[in-house]
Structure 1
């Protein structure tokens, strides 16, 4: 089982590397790791289990965050409209995105960052992601608002990018012109 002691923190080299593609079909070890990542996210959202195992709640986890430089990510969350997203993905890739930008009014957080980083993180309001699921199915998902933000955050990890890299250092709390809150999408 993955716990917080397995999560690498900012400053670790692996978080700044571009992760390697996973050769498909994935090995049983890679599948098991991705499944463990998904279970970690699910358990972290269960108040009782999170307390028992001393986990910070998360909605997504990328393999570099557990020290593995491979293009794998897991997400488990419900968006602002009540739709659930629960995936273990190999080689996720953004294949198209909107020009329109979006953001979370309260900023973003990260399991690999143990400090509060205030600031608006501009993201694409809509993205289309192609990936291979844990079950071996090739999928193409169209995402908007909060879901699009979560996926972009995790895919950034696969490219060595941290969420705070997107924050405007000169004016961190002002949303980009024309950007809309993810809550409104």
Structure 2
């Protein structure tokens, strides 16, 4: 499926209510979802360091997200740039704590415990056939982070407490 030309959208920041509201299930074949998928990929591409972006982060209350951890130093397995609709975790194991940041919470990072081995089911834009992605390490973390966005959760909702939240370092 070829996506339309994507537009770069503004990224919503906490405490916007769209970030804390579970997204709606979508029809992955709907033209507006194909456009949203293209927009998420286009927005990611121009955002330095971005490895994932969910529909709620661009103000759309839908269960759609894009991920691309290609070239990230912590990535072991990578499936390139992809978009999933209505994703759900099928299997999760080997939990590990790791530092996370988010474009919607630009000034903070936090330690979050997530599965480092993961199987996710969902739908590619334009497809009615469910697909499964088996991954690990950093890509697994990115998928869980984006699935959380679609459920109305931020990484701050997953930290163990204030002691696990840090001011983001600014590199000049």
Pair in the same fold by TM > 0.5: yes
Q: Does 1:148 align with 2:140?
A: yes
SS class of match (1:115) = strand
User: Which TM-score applies when normalising by structure 1?
Assistant: 0.76
Larger Rg, first or second structure (1 or 2)? 1
The 1:167–1:27 alpha-carbon spacing in structure 2 relative to 1, beyond 3 Å, is same
Q: Which runs of 5+ in 2 are unaligned?
A: 1-6, 166-172
Equivalent of residue 16 in structure 2, options 6, 12, 23:
12
Q: 2:97 is matched with which residue?
A: 103
User: Which TM-score applies when normalising by structure 2?
Assistant: 0.81
Q: 2:89 is matched with which residue?
A: 94
Q: Is the 8 A contact 1:103 1:149 kept in 2?
A: no
Q: Is the 8 A contact 1:56 1:111 kept in 2?
A: no
Q: Does 1:33 align with 2:36?
A: yes
Q: CA deviation at 1:143?
A: 1.5
Q: CA deviation at 1:40?
A: 1.9
Q: Which has the higher strand share?
A: 2
After superposition, residues 162-173 of structure 1 pair within 5 angstroms as 162-169=154-161, 171-172=163-164
Q: 1:177 is matched with which residue?
A: none
Q: CA deviation at 1:56?
A: 4.0
Deviations 1:111-165 (A, max 9, x none): 1112023x31111121210111124152101121111100000000011111121
How many residues are paired up?
A: 155
Q: Does 1:120 align with 2:101?
A: no
Deviations 1:95-117 (A, max 9, x none): 1211x31233xx11111112023
